Amino acid sequence: DVKVTQSSRYLVKRTGEKVFLECVQDMDHENMFWYRQDPGLGLRLIYFSYDVKMKEKGDIPEGYSVSREKKERFSLILESASTNQTSMYLCASSSPKQGLGEKLFFGSGTQLSVL
Amino acid sequence: GEDVEQSLFLSVREGDSSVINCTYTDSSSTYLYWYKQEPGAGLQLLTYIFSNMDMKQDQRLTVLLNKKDKHLSLRIADTQTGDSAIYFCAESIGSSYKLIFGSGTRLLVRP
């Protein structure tokens, strides 16, 4: 069964802390994405990566950075966490070879609370 | 600009049909998708439709696409309590990697 695994289901951090959210996929997918989900706003794209060491900004990259050193792993970094970054973070992956536009496979999400 | 809109909430009785609606603004959409999110879980692809199709049926699910009005709908026949979830409409545009998601419709199925 295909899997996108996010390392933590719940995280509580303090303002100003550096936060790492990890995501691993086992499908050999080229593309990986980080979204945040907020009530009434749906999913908003933070960053995506279409290859190892490649990254592109999404719609709301401010306050975030990413790292993709290996194909299967995509990390989201909050350099200095702030309360407005309290949210559900969803990682997803896809492959252009599957020929279905962007059929995304999602992890179960990390609920981050910044106090 | 790119925008996908959905109503926020729908309540139906078990056994009835549910219809979840979505409107989008970009006429260059290539694929349109419906994702389902159950409580505490990520999103799961339910079904999709290519932009040159009008309708797609998959068991209890029927997707209708009206390109002229840029309107997409998802009909769930014989809705069950297990269908209670948030449903997201999404579009992909051209060869872009990016999906544009709606805000999600929370479906509540009453016994």
Q: Are B41 and B106 in contact (CB under 8 A)?
A: no
Which chain A positions have a beta carbon within 8 Å of B31's beta carbon?
100-102
Neighbour-count burial for A89-115, b at 16+ CB within 10 Å, e otherwise: bbbbbbbeeeeebbbbbbbbbbebebe
Q: What is the pLDDT of residues B22-69, one digit of tens each?
A: 998 877 777 899 999 998 888 999 999 988 889 999 999 999 999 889
Which chain A positions have a beta carbon within 8 Å of B98's beta carbon?
45, 48, 58, 102
Residues in a beta bridge with A70 = A73
Q: Name which of B40, B4, B48 is nearest B23 in CA terms.
A: B4
Of A40, A56, A106, the CB nearest to B8: A40
Which chain B positions have a beta carbon within 8 Å of A45's beta carbon?
98-99
Q: What is the pLDDT of residues B59-95, one digit of tens each?
A: 999 999 998 899 999 999 999 999 999 999 998 876 6
Q: Of the spans A3-17, A39-53, B37-51, which averages the highest pLDDT?
A: A3-17
- Residue to mutate among A27, A29, A37, A98, with most B CBs inside 10 A, is A37
Phi, psi of B7, rounded to the nearest 5 degrees: -75, 155
Confidence of residue A66 (pLDDT cuts 50, 70, 90): very high
